[in-house]
Amino acid sequence: MRRVYTVLVLLLSSFAVCADEVKLQHDGLTLNGELVLVGEQTLSAGVILIVHGTLAHNGMEIVTTLQALFAENGRNSLAINLSLGVDDRHGFLPCDVEHTHTMEDADTELGAWLAWLQSMDAGEIVLLGHSRGGNQIARFIAEHDPDIVAAILIAPSSGGEPVSTDREENLQRAGENGRLLNVPFLHCSSATVSAESYASYYGSVDATNTPALLNRIDLPVLVFSGSEDSVVPNLAEHMRLVNRNNIVFEEIVGADHFFRDLYADDIVESALAFLDAHCCRAEAPESGRLITWADSFVADARLATKKHFPIVVFVSQTGCQPCEALRQQVLFPMMRSGMMQEQAVFRELSLDDGFTVEDFDGVEISGAKFARRYAADITPTLVFLDSSGKELVKKRLGISNIEYYGFYLGKSIKAATAALGVP
């Protein structure tokens, strides 16, 4: 089912999600965030705390998309808005306000949110930040050693640029006058900025050098860059200087700074594998969507090639009772154990009217037409494919004995893997 998540309400038709705005008081300001809980889960099941980029907010496409995809995979999340000195702030911070916020403000607000989560008996906490939000998380961890289990940094600033002559002059003038008028500031071509704010963002070259900060962090950190990122173009080059076992770096080929559309799926796929391997495996509820809908076999083929996995397609349709029995008794337990994710790219494809998928050649077709190609019109059917769409081993049609289905499914996956030439 081809879809791009832009708002969380799109989730509600497919599985149980509770999305609520939460607020807390901090230093005379109201802070707000969007909390997404999956199914019957509470915060005790753990949560991913998400921080946006420069002057941005938690309603940006990359943030809402990540929350949607994490929820689909059984992960709670809290996407916060940094106040930037504004009470109960929503939306982008305009350039035409007087900027008095500092990078240090983000540290204290992150601390306030972590304290709130702990007061709510939250389980394992993961920090995730995009762009400057990723850099702020790295600074926060390096300087405060918070009680979290891991961090995920998406296109964080890499620093390393020398302070320009203009900025040095502005820093000196700001110190003399208390504020600057009509100066370039962050994304703004012209802004009014307090001396403290300007010095916070431009006074230290090292503050925005995320790769250097990573050398001071001991917990697991996953860092993403996009090969087509024009905002942080040198991140991959700088990350080559980071050689620590707890730091994992992945460049997503083709992605720009905002990882739109299917590149967000790549982030979540890798992030979930990273979290499973390094700290915390999600326990998704019965009502959650444990099996990802087939959306793009182009993206799935890329992932299958990267991991040397077969692609297993579960063909189903609405009202198919054997399909539901297979989910509940065999496939869901395999998903919860992590067994399936460690052996195959597993996707569910529906024969229902209106269900479409991007085929291996990039052309969008109906699920029914895709299934007919493999004579998989009977549901449930499992088809085992390589990254070109070629059938690797005999498909599994229907259910003859559900008690032994998992055993024979495991054998089919092993045979499909062997057919790929993978030992």
- DSSP per-residue codes, 48-77: EEEE--TT--TTSHHHHHHHHHHHHTT--E
Q: Which residues contact 378 (CB under 8 A, 6 or more apart)?
A: 397, 398
Between 262-278 and 297-307, two packed helices, what is the crossing angle to 10 degrees? 30
Structural domain harbouring 408: 297-419
The reply to whether 33 falls in a domain is yes
The answer on 395 and 248 residing in a single domain is no
| Number of domains present in the structure of the chain | 2
Verify that 128 and 228 share a domain, yes or no: yes
At 2 the pLDDT is 38
Token pair of 257 as six digits: 């700074």
Task: Tell me what the pLDDT averaged over the chain comes to.
Answer: 88
Which of these three, 213, 248, 278, is where a domain ends?
278
Which of 47-51, 176-180, 215-219, 393-397 comes out lowest in average pLDDT? 176-180
pTM of the model: 0.66
* Lowest model confidence (mean pLDDT) among 84-93, 229-238, 304-313, 336-345: 336-345
Q: pLDDT band at 179, cuts 50/70/90?
A: confident
User: DSSP letter string over 361-395?
Assistant: TS-EEEHHHHHHHTT--SSSEEEEE-TTS-B-S--
Q: What percent of the chain has pLDDT over 90?
A: 67
Q: At what angle do helices 61-72 and 262-278 cross, to 10 degrees?
A: 50
Residue 35 lies in a domain: yes
**pLDDT for position 15:** 45
Q: Is the pLDDT of residue 167 over 80?
A: no
Q: Please tell me whether residues 260 and 312 are part of one structural domain.
A: no
Q: pLDDT tens digits, residue range 134-152?
A: 999 999 999 999 999 999 9
Residues 366-387: what's their mean pLDDT? 95
Q: What is the pLDDT of residue 105?
A: 95
| Residue 170 in domain | no
* Percent share of the chain, pLDDT over 70: 91
Residue 197 falls inside a structural domain:
no
Residues 353 and 229 occupy one common structural domain = no
pLDDT of 6 strictly over 50: no
Higher pLDDT, 367 or 164: 367
Residue 184 within a domain:
no
Among 185-199, 322-336, 363-377, which is the least confidently predicted range?
A: 322-336
